[in-house]
Amino acid sequence: MTQAWVTLTSVDGRDIAAPTEQQLAAALAELYARRKKGGADPEPASAALRFGYDDGLMYVAEVSSTGDIRFEEWSDSDCELALAAPRRMKASQTQAQELWAMMARRQVSRIRELAWQ
């Protein structure tokens, strides 16, 4: 049987397997706090939530401290074949948290229906 997994790569680059809602919220709070500080960091920071299956598909929702979100669909966890062009949007912290909650619940079809640019 195929095993599903979810991994959060935090702002500092640490991977957290099966993150809790509190860990997701904390990662987004850190990102959006950097956004409010303004020009403190010349490089925007980001965190990514990945959801996939041991033997197949992987989805990535990366959120930047600028409020930009990028959603990608891959054939596998090695990112060998993109299944669709990356989708992008600007989002508030609340919207980003809703997106990550959908990812954690494996609701890819609902994510595809969002108002992507």
Banded model confidence at residue 44, pLDDT cuts 50, 70, 90: confident
Rounded Cα distance, 45 and 31, in Å: 7
Q: Which two tokens stand for residue 21?
A: 């809602």
Task: Check residue 1 and give its pLDDT.
Answer: 47
What is the model's pTM? 0.91
pLDDT tens-digit map of 77-107: 888 899 999 999 999 999 999 999 999 999 9
Which residue do the tokens 């669709």 mark? 84
In a domain, 81, yes or no: yes
Number of domains making up the chain? 1
Phi, psi of 48 (to 5 degrees): -130, 140
In a domain, 59, yes or no: yes
Q: Which two tokens stand for residue 71?
A: 């959603």
Domain extent at residue 26: 4-108
Closest CA to 63 of 16, 36, 29: 29
In a domain, 115, yes or no: no
Sheet strands (E) in the chain: 4-9, 15-17, 46-53, 58-64, 68-74, 87-90
DSSP state of 75: S
In a domain, 113, yes or no: no
Contact in structure between 27 and 15 (CB atoms under 8 Å): no
